[in-house]
């Protein structure tokens, strides 16, 4: 009889936090049944916490107490042997055959655990902006390969305690609380992650948005901004429900922190929100920043958790969609530009300008070895840039219609770039192979330039010849602004398909300046060559 997905994997985790030493000591019992046809001589586990701390597996045993050989996975890169700090290999005493089960006992610790104002965040997020897996998370073997980014649904049981009086909160409801030894027990079924927060004294506000339960935790120093945060949260949820006809989930936990390297960290049913604003900060600025970050975070509960890309791909679609949602909210509700998205686009353009390959086609393992922050540059920066170009090319109504269809069709299924392209083509009636080729499958850049301008008196007016150049390989239609000496502006459209092109126009007055893409709607890697000043025409 086939084993159900949830029964294939179970984690029993016992945690003991040493607050003074910022060290988490853990014991993990991993129960696993091999669902595939191939015998497995070893198993692999993710140790994502090594990105922010020092996670060390001290010992791995069988159920009977046999100590197993285990080590960090080693691979060859640029003709050198490299130990992967995030991947741990355990050699089994006997091959694990199809349908057979094993039980492994890990003893591990995480030193230099990040904390903020006495709170410790074990955020098991897919993007690994928090800690990622702070326990040995099993890597599945499928289709002849170890799927190192894939998360297998599992049952969890976690018993957590601390050396000092700390609360342990989670997006889940606690099963039990023992005030004697200050321990908390949480369980989850068929989940892909488990997040916990140890905290001394966060304040709590609870609210309900038409059946959706919201718990909002915050430090007392952030009390002034708590009502505003909840107001924005409720407004954003109504905006999303109107767009998608449903809330992303039934329960949400939001934790506001004073310091974090990232504006938001998102895991399933959890948002960790950065709030660095002092009590005397400008309220308009605070509202703007909190709005941007909250809507982007809520968008990821749809795009990332309800609908996700294949885990081996850089998640540029889901990140781009989440950021596009936030941009739409800021334009519609707050009537302001989306500063976060603009900053991320600049990071992508900076990497492209420096000559790095920004293709989204290679697997995530390859992209994460690039000498830049691939998640920020590619998933966020380029993902958002692509969505804005699609909006410009197809129109916002078409993009939103395709977005809604994809959310309905791919909930719980992997969304690929090919599926997205097909949906956009069906909705818009336009062929988009050229767009996805240059923006997704290749790492092309967009760079247009004004090469030269000549103008002469002609028939009581002016005849101008403008020489344009396409330096980059990306072709996108772009507007050309012709500014006359009397202050008027004439707009022309250039398709940008030719490497070198000539635009001849007749004007009433002499040209003063020529600007490619005056509204800066296209992601041109070099704005310096987009404009030129024209010498005055004698006789006018």
Domain co-membership, 501 together with 395: no
* Boundary residue ending a domain (298, 315, 350): 298
Q: Mean pLDDT, to the nearest integer, of 493-497?
A: 94
CATH at 468: 2.60.40
Mean pLDDT score of the chain: 93
User: Cβ distance 104 to 33 under 8 Å?
Assistant: no
pLDDT of the residue at 1: 35
Compute CA 84 distance to the chain's CA centroid, rounded to the nearest angstrom.
23
At 284, the pLDDT band (50, 70, 90 cuts) reads very high
Q: Are 91 and 41 in contact (CB under 8 A)?
A: yes
- The total number of structural domains in the chain stands at 4
Task: Say whether both 282 and 311 belong to one domain.
Answer: no
Cα–Cα distances in angstroms (integers) from residue 344 to residues 72, 367, 401, 494, in the given order: 34, 17, 25, 27
pLDDT digits (tens, 9 = 90+) for 229-266: 999 999 999 999 999 998 888 999 999 988 888 999 99
Which of 445, 476, 439 has its CA nearest to residue 360?
439
13 falls within a domain: yes
d(CA 57, CA 206): 38
- Of 156, 179, 198, the residue at which a domain comes to its end is 198
- Do residues 500 and 471 lie in contact, with contact meaning Cβ atoms separated by under 8 Å? no
Residue after which a domain boundary falls, among 169, 198, 227: 198
Per the domain annotation, does 243 fall within a domain? yes
Angle at 119 (CA atoms; ends 377, 23), nearest 5 degrees = 90
What tokens does 108 get? 């591990």
Whether 325 contacts 294, CB under 8 Å: no
Residue 428 carries which DSSP code?
Answer: H
Q: pLDDT at position 369, please?
A: 86
> Mapping DSSP to helix (H, G, I), strand (E, B) and coil, where does residue 127 land?
coil
Domain that holds residue 260: 202-298
Predicted TM-score (pTM) of this structure = 0.92
pLDDT tens-digit profile of 115-169? Answer: 888 899 999 999 999 999 999 999 999 989 999 999 999 999 999 999 888 889 9
**Locus of tokens 């604003």:** 277
What confidence score (pLDDT) does residue 398 get? 97
In a domain, 284, yes or no: yes
50-66 pLDDT per residue, tens: 999 999 999 999 999 99
Residue 302: what pLDDT?
Answer: 97
Q: Which of 73-87, 337-351, 514-528 has the lowest mean pLDDT?
A: 73-87
Burial (CB count within 10 angstroms: exposed 0-12, middle 13-18, buried 19+), residue 229? buried
- The angle that helices 339-353 and 316-329 make with each other, rounded to 10 degrees, is 140
For 510, left (φ over 0), alpha (ψ -120 to 50), or beta? beta
- Binned at pLDDT 50, 70 and 90, residue 430 comes out as very high
pLDDT the model gives residue 92: 98
Q: At which residue do the structure tokens 């326990």 appear?
A: 135
Report the length, in residues, of the chain.
540
Question: Backbone phi, then psi, for 79, in 5-degree steps?
Answer: 65, 25
427 with 330, same domain: the answer is yes
- The CATH number for 67's domain is 2.60.40.1730
Answer yes or no: do 94 and 193 share one domain.
Answer: yes
- % of the chain at pLDDT higher than 70: 98
Instruction: For residues 335 and 361, state if they share a domain.
Output: yes
Q: What is the 3-state secondary structure (H, E, C) of 304-316?
A: CCCEECCCCCCCH
Buried b or exposed e, range 96-107, using 16+ CB within 10 angstroms: beeeeebebbbe
Q: Are residues 395 and 484 in the same domain?
A: no
pLDDT at 540 over 80: no
Which of 2-6, 195-199, 477-481 is predicted least confidently? 2-6
Residues 268 and 376 grouped into a single domain: no
Whether 518 and 453 share a structural domain: yes
Q: How far apart are CA 512 and CA 536, in angstroms?
A: 7
Q: Kindly indicate the confidence band of residue 357, based on its pLDDT and cuts at 50, 70 and 90.
A: very high
Residues 304-317: what's their mean pLDDT?
A: 96
Q: Is it the case that residue 180 has pLDDT exceeding 90?
A: no
């Amino acid at each position: 009889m086939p084993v159900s997905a949830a029964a294939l994997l179970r984690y029993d985790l016992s945690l003991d936090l040493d607050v003074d030493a910022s060290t988490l000591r853990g014991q993990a019992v991993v129960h696993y049944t091999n669902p595939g046809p191939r015998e497995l001589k070893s198993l692999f586990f993710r140790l994502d916490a090594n990105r922010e701390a020092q996670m060390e597996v001290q010992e791995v045993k069988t159920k009977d107490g046999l100590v197993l050989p285990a080590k960090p996975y080693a691979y060859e890169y640029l003709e050198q042997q490299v130990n992967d700090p995030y991947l741990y290999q355990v050699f089994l005493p006997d091959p694990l055959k199809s349908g057979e089960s094993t039980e492994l006992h890990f003893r591990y610790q995480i030193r230099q655990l990040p904390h903020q104002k006495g709170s410790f965040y074990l955020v098991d997020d897919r993007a690994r902006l928090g800690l990622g897996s702070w326990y040995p998370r099993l890597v599945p073997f499928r289709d002849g390969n170890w799927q190192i980014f894939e998360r297998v649904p599992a049952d969890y049981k976690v018993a957590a305690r601390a050396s000092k009086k700390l609360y342990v909160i989670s997006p889940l409801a606690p099963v039990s609380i023992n005030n004697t030894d200050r321990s908390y027990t949480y369980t989850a079924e068929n989940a892909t992650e488990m997040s916990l927060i140890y905290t001394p004294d966060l304040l709590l506000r609870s609210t309900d948005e038409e059946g959706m339960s919201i718990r909002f935790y915050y430090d007392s120093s952030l009390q002034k901004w708590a009502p505003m945060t909840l107001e924005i949260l409720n407004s954003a949820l109504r905006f999303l429900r109107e767009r998608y006809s449903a809330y992303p989930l039934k329960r949400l936990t939001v934790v506001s922190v004073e310091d974090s390297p990232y504006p938001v960290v998102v895991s399933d049913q959890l948002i960790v929100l950065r709030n660095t604003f002092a009590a005397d900060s400008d309220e308009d600025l605070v509202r703007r920043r909190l709005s941007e970050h909250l809507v982007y975070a809520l968008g990821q509960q749809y795009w990332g958790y309800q609908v996700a890309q294949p885990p081996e791909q850089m998640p540029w679609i889901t990140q781009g969609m989440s950021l596009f949602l936030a941009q739409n909210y800021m334009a519609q509700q707050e009537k302001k530009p989306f500063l976060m998205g603009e900053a991320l686009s600049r990071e992508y353009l900076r990497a492209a300008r420096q000559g790095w390959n920004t293709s989204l086609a290679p697997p995530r393992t390859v992209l994460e070895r690039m000498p830049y922050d691939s998640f920020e540059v590619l998933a966020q920066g380029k993902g958002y840039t692509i969505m804005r170009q699609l909006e410009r090319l197809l129109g916002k109504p078409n993009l939103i219609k395709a977005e809604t269809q994809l959310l309905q069709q791919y909930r719980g299924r992997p969304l690929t770039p090919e599926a997205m392209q097909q949906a956009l083509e069906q909705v818009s009636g336009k062929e988009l192979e050229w767009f996805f080729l240059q923006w997704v499958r290749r790492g092309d850049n967009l760079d247009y330039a004004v090469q030269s301008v000549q103008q002469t008196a002609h028939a009581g007016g002016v005849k101008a010849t403008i020489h344009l150049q396409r330096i980059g390989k990306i072709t996108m239609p772009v507007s050309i602004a012709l500014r006359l000496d009397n202050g008027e502006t004439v707009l022309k459209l250039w398709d940008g398909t030719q490497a070198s092109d000539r635009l001849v126009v007749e004007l009433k007055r002499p040209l003063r300046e020529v600007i490619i893409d005056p509204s800066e709607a296209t992601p041109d890697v070099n704005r310096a060559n987009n404009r030129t000043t024209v010498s005055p025409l004698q006789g006018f």
